[in-house]
Amino acid sequence: MSGVPVSASAAAPFTPRPTSLSSERLAALGGLALVATALLVFLTLPLATLFVRSADDRAGQFVGLANFSAYFASPAFANSAQNTLVFALATTVITVPLAFLFAYAVQRSRIPLPGLWRNIALLPILAPSLLAALSFIYLFGNQGWLKGALSWFGLQTIYGLPGMVLAMCFAAFPHALMILLAALALADARLYEAADSLATPGWRKFLTITLPGARYGLISAAMVVFTMAVSEFGVPKVIGGNVSVLAIDIYKQVIGQQNFSMGAVVGLILLAPVLVAFIIDGMVRRRQKALLSARSVPYQPRPAPMRDAVLLLFVVLMSAVMLLVIGMAVFGSFVKVWPYNLSFTLNHYTFGFEEAGVDHAWRNSVRMALWSGAFGAAVTFGGAYWLEKTRGADLLRPLIQLQAMMPMAVPGLVLGIGYILFFNHPANPLGFLYGTMTILVVCTVVHYYSSSHLTAVTALKQLDAEFEAVSASLKVPFYKTFWRVTVPVCLPALIDIARYYFVNAMTTISAVVFLYSPKTTLAAISIVHLDEAGNVGSASAMATLIVATSAIVTALFFCLEWLLVRRTQAWRFAARN
Amino acid sequence: MRVSERQEALRLEGIHKAFGAFVALQSIDLAIGAGELVCFVGPSGCGKTTLLRIIAGLETQSSGRVIQGGRDISGAPPAARDYGIVFQSYALFPNLTIRENVAYGLVNRRRARAQIEARVKELLTLVGLPDSGSKYPSQLSGGQQQRIALARALATAPSLLLLDEPLSALDAKERERLRGEIRQLQRRVGVTTIMVTHDQEEALSMSDRVVVMNQGRIEQVGTPLEVYEHPTTPFVADFLGKVSVLRAVCVGSGRYKVGRVELTTKANGVGQGQQVRLYLRPEDRVLADSGPVESMPNALRGRVEHVDFLGTYCLAALDVDGFDGQRLLVYFSLNQALELGVREGASIPFALRGERVRVFAHTA
């Protein structure tokens, strides 16, 4: 070090500016209390209402478990419970192996253009689950193009369980794929090298290294698919024919018969299997830690012509199916009368919407999705920040953490019914929210809170834990460091969260279907109505609009991320010299 | 220089800290003089980092007082205390340039831009990185980043500098170099400094005083030479430097019997017939190259069991005649090892420096 004379007194003019510390502490604790209260009011209390109302009769008198016994005694229940189970299990058993093979091909082989196939397979995330149901009706329905092919599989009609399972597999596939892509993304090359040095055949390496490594991913993926199918409402409605499932039972009880107590009962019943799945998943995840150590050497697959050719064929076939299913609905939305008159028309988009009175639905959806993206990203990131980077209030923390993870275990329908019971209650001072756009936004943010919360927490955990301590020692208030360091460094995660909220807000049906008013009809919900009215063309048109919107906005988000990252994240790319 | 001769900068009174049932710190009393560099050293889990974090206000003590410059700051939040801190992880803001990092605490004090700029320049020069201002932290090596963290901590001219294992993340060479630089810089700036380390060598080479901690207590406080030469507890003797521990019985004033051999020391105060442990450092010996060792007091002869070659010197484990199998570690400089023929199986004459032997009562 050079010999510049420096003394402490030389810098004496830099005397500490008195900071108002009590206010800083107050902000930290106040923020935590705010997050806890918000989660309590908009998640826990609505769900708690389910328990209360399930024990009331229609007049509001306490009847204990009478509602449950009435429901279990009805043959309709046994029927829809069985249907739901078969539907969810079949979807899981078909989707997870396909998704695993696809993920394996992308991550662990040397097929060309893995990124392209991956993106095609993830496309259905941009679409409401109903889109697949509509496509399968176009393809295999009564006027279906490939209706003849049904008889090869011994089927009379696509309506019913076969169609439901097919459409659900399509909708659930990308969700399972994302988990499995992550599970197969990292592997320790040293394990494979050790196996090679012991002359292990390929199939044995797969069974003893690859599969165990992805075990937890497989279990998680199965849970996610099963949960999605159990709480799916749109697909059975559109392509289920007269097959009844629990999710439709709820809808009928609540919207059809205004029987809130019975709705609460079915909601709780629906919550049970999902809750069990969630707890198993949680236990599995806890054991997963430290599978990969910091010393792991990333695995690079070597070319194997036979394997790569077979996997490429599979991947191309799957991608073709994905494009066919999406393309079918898009195509159907532009033709006059499927399959008789295939000339081009925009009528489904114009007159069709007008006729059904849903021409404002798309605008509502975009508005709702924009608010969910902006508001959701701010709230989720703020909540995660307060949880991760403040100190004190040790009793409040586990409560917030538990509540933040709860939405993952709550099917959308159950959340929606909780909302209707809670906010529709005459004594609730927040009742004015019912039927507004605000409640749709809040419900959507809560519905998708868990994964966004996890994204935010992961990003925040990557920051040095001592930033706040350093700032305090430099007398810089925490909010300045939040604004100058935390937010800029976490910007990519923030944009991801906003995009996730936006796309889900565009496509979601399950929770908001109980909460919309004629003024706030959403695009995805209007598909059900259009289909019910027999207007499959306009239903497809609406689904197409949603896909297009999600795709364009996703692309815009990527551009935004690219621009912002280039402007604010120069440090990420600064070359070392 | 002892504390009494300096103005007192920091005083800890009866600090006690418990995490649930686990007691991390108990009855810590310590005074630190202005301008002193004090090291808290001890094995992991001894409470040294917790103590530093209590001084910084990042942890709150269960009881006890922290007094800085005569002001009781026991309950003050971190921002109301006057210190700069450097962490093992550096904790540099990755999205800010080096200049912005160093100026981070200055900007908040509404100084003129030119004044800040001058101060940043002064500090970057001080830590020997005058041209790094426009770079980002990721463009610097670990040692350079640690220097910047030091500059940032000193920028606001705090009266106390806290260093939490500042060198642990660096490689051996860099660590040794930075040791000297930090010490030199601390002397020049004259800032009272507390450093936490688990590395006894670091503690001995850098500090004015060493605070040896174990299981939440202070074992000994003293200059590096004091704690090394005159450890007051077996733990300190064992923790700082290498040591051979011999079972022995007291056979008279300052005389102890190890196996069948009687040794004369200056350690009195142990009752005759009492079981003790003798603590000897590898350098507590006289070798044949400085005279006829056979005629010296405590003359011994040992067979070399094995030799660890450590560069400029060797460490030999000797099976000493009459010690009944108790092994003794002895240093030889490389030259001594060659001249005296130190190799496995060789029999080497030497004498123990009785005045250096530490005796501790044996508590079974």
Q: Which residues of B touch A464 (CB under 8 A)?
A: 87, 89-91
Q: Is B231 within a domain? A: no
Query: Which tokens is B22 given?
Result: 């686990």
Nearest to A7 among B155, B156, B190 (CB): B190
Shortest CA gap A479–chain B (Å): 12
Residues with pLDDT less than 70, chain B = 1-5, 364
What is the widest separation between alpha-carbon atoms in chain B? 78
B310 shares a domain with B195: no
Taking CB atoms and an 8 Å limit, are B96 and A570 in contact across chains?
no
B189 shares a domain with B302: no
B206 shares a domain with B69: yes
Mutate to test the interface with A, among B88, B109, B121 (most CBs of A within 10 A): B109
Q: Which residues of B touch A17 (CB under 8 A)?
A: 108-110
Q: How far apart are CA B28 and CA B49, in angstroms?
A: 13
B338 shares a domain with B218: no
B190 shares a domain with B121: yes
What is the widest separation between alpha-carbon atoms in chain A? 93
B263 shares a domain with B171: no
Taking CB atoms and an 8 Å limit, are A472 and B157 in contact across chains?
no
Residue of A nearest to B116 (CA): A14
B249 shares a domain with B210: no
Q: Is A32 exposed, middle or buried (0-12, 13-18, 19+ CB in 10 A)?
A: buried
CB B213 within 8 A of CB B40: yes
User: What type of residue sits at position B338?
Assistant: L
Query: Which tokens is B108 given?
Result: 């908040």
Q: Is B233 within a domain? A: no
Q: What is the pLDDT along chain A (577 residues), one digit of tens a residue?
A: 443 444 443 333 333 333 444 566 777 788 888 999 999 999 999 999 988 888 888 777 888 888 888 888 888 888 988 999 999 999 999 999 999 999 999 999 999 999 999 999 999 999 999 999 999 999 888 887 788 788 787 788 889 999 999 999 999 999 999 989 988 887 777 888 888 888 888 888 888 888 888 888 888 888 889 888 888 888 999 899 889 998 888 888 888 888 888 888 888 887 887 677 777 777 776 665 545 444 566 777 888 888 899 999 999 999 999 999 999 999 999 998 887 888 888 888 888 888 888 889 999 999 999 999 999 999 999 999 988 888 777 778 888 888 888 888 788 888 998 999 899 888 889 988 888 999 999 999 999 998 899 899 988 988 888 898 899 889 888 888 999 999 988 988 999 999 999 999 999 988 898 899 889 999 999 998 898 888 889 999 999 999 999 999 999 999 988 888 777 666 666 654 4
B76 shares a domain with B21: yes
CB A35 within 8 A of CB B180: no
Shortest CA gap B230–chain A (Å): 35
Domain that holds residue B270: 244-361
Q: Would you call A437 helix, strand, or coil by DSSP?
A: helix
The pLDDT score that the predictor gives to residue A394 is 75
Q: Is B196 within a domain? A: yes
Q: How far apart are CA B156 and CA A249, in angstroms?
A: 67
Nearest to B95 among A1, A21, A488 (CB): A488
Q: Is B264 within a domain? A: yes
Q: Which residues of B touch A494 (CB under 8 A)?
A: none
Shortest CA gap A298–chain B (Å): 22
Q: Any residues with CB less than 8 A from the CB of A84 and at least 6 apart, and which? A: A230, A245, A246, A247
Count A/B contacts: CB-CB distance under 8 Å.
Answer: 142
CATH number of the structural domain spanning residue B133: 3.40.50.300
Nearest to A274 by CA among A548, A468, A510: A510
Shortest CA gap A4–chain B (Å): 6
Q: How far apart are CA B338 and CA B302, in angstroms?
A: 17
Q: Would you call B83 helix, strand, or coil by DSSP?
A: coil
For A346, other C-beta atoms within 10 Å of its C-beta total 11
Taking CB atoms and an 8 Å limit, are B85 and A21 in contact across chains?
no
Domain count of chain B?
2
Question: Does the pTM of the predicted model rise above 0.90?
Answer: no
B334 shares a domain with B208: no
Shortest CA gap B148–chain A (Å): 12
Q: Is A367 exposed, middle or buried (0-12, 13-18, 19+ CB in 10 A)?
A: middle
Q: Any residues with CB less than 8 A from the CB of B262 and at least 6 apart, and which? A: B251, B255, B256
B270 shares a domain with B188: no
Q: Which residues of A touch B131 (CB under 8 A)?
A: none
Q: Is B239 within a domain? A: no
Shortest CA gap B38–chain A (Å): 18
Nearest to A466 among B87, B136, B137 (CB): B87
Shortest CA gap B123–chain A (Å): 8
Angle, alpha carbons B161-B165-B168 (nearest 5°): 140
Residue of A nearest to B161 (CA): A473
CB B147 within 8 A of CB B129: yes
B216 shares a domain with B335: no
CATH number of the structural domain spanning residue B303: 2.40.50.100
Taking CB atoms and an 8 Å limit, are B109 and A484 in contact across chains?
no
b/e per residue B90-117 (b: at least 16 CB within 10 A): bbbbbbbbbbbbbbbbbebbebeeeebe
Instruction: Give the strand order in the sheet containing B71-72.
Output: B22-33, B8-19, B63-68, B71-72
Nearest to B91 among A6, A7, A470 (CB): A470
Residue of B nearest to A391 (CA): B58
Q: Which residues of B touch A13 (CB under 8 A)?
A: 111, 115
Taking CB atoms and an 8 Å limit, are A475 and B87 in contact across chains?
no
Nearest to B16 by CA among B54, B58, B68, B69: B54
Q: How far apart are CA A335 and CA A324, in angstroms?
A: 16
Nearest to B189 among A6, A472, A569 (CB): A6
Element (H, E) at B299: strand B299-309
Q: How far apart are CA A42 and CA A446, in angstroms?
A: 7
B139 shares a domain with B105: yes
Torsion of CA A527, A533, A536, A537, to 10 degrees: -90
The pLDDT score that the predictor gives to residue A1 is 41
Q: Is B301 within a domain? A: yes
The pLDDT score that the predictor gives to residue A2 is 40
Nearest to A473 among B84, B93, B139 (CB): B84
Which domains does chain A carry? 21-48+347-571 (1.10.3720.10), 88-245+278-288+297-339 (1.10.3720.10)
Residue of A nearest to B79 (CA): A472
Q: How far apart are CA B121 and CA B151, in angstroms?
A: 10
Shortest CA gap A564–chain B (Å): 13
Mutate to test the interface with B, among A474, A479, A490, A571 (most CBs of B within 10 A): A474
Where on the phi/psi map is residue B35: left (φ > 0), alpha (ψ -120 to 50), or beta?
A: left
Q: Is B232 within a domain? A: no
CB A491 within 8 A of CB A568: yes
Q: Is B235 within a domain? A: no
Taking CB atoms and an 8 Å limit, are B139 and A467 in contact across chains?
no
The pLDDT score that the predictor gives to residue A147 is 81
- Could you give the ipTM of this predicted complex? 0.81
Taking CB atoms and an 8 Å limit, are B78 and A473 in contact across chains?
yes
Q: How far apart are CA A81 and CA B242, in angstroms?
A: 73
Query: pLDDT by residue (tens digit) across B278-292?
Result: 999 999 988 888 778
The pLDDT score that the predictor gives to residue A572 is 67
Element (H, E) at B248: strand B244-252
For B28, other C-beta atoms within 10 Å of its C-beta total 22
DSSP string, B13-28: EEEEEEETTEEEEEEE
Q: How far apart are CA A27 and CA A24, in angstroms?
A: 5
Instruction: At A467, give phi and psi (nearest 5°).
Output: -55, -45
User: What type of residue sits at position B28?
Assistant: I
